[in-house]
Amino acid sequence: MSRFLNVLRSWLVMVSIIAMGNTLQSFRDHTFLYEKLYTGKPNLVNGLQARTFG
């Protein structure tokens, strides 16, 4: 059981670090989300929609 808890703890730390990085990135540079991610019709996507659905 101890090994399982160690693996679970490591997994949760990794996921939380990735989530914090994604959060910081979305607040730091909004242009990436709607200029690079949505390339089909970027003129129809604004920053709020990109952060909501990105």
For the segment 1-40, what is each residue's pLDDT rounded down to a tens digit? 899 999 999 999 999 999 998 888 777 766 666 566 656 6
Cα distance between residue 24 and residue 44, in whole Å: 24
What DSSP assignment string belongs to 21-51?
HHHHHHHH-SHHIIIII--SSGGG--HHHHH
Instruction: Give residue limits of the domains in the chain.
Output: 2-53
**Could you give the CA distance from residue 7 to residue 21 in angstroms, rounded to a whole number?**
21
Binned at pLDDT 50, 70 and 90, residue 41 comes out as: low
**What is the per-residue pLDDT for 22?**
81
The tokens for 34 are 């709607």
The predicted pLDDT at position 20 comes to: 92
What's the predicted TM-score (pTM) here? 0.53
Cα torsion 49, 17, 14, 10: sign: negative
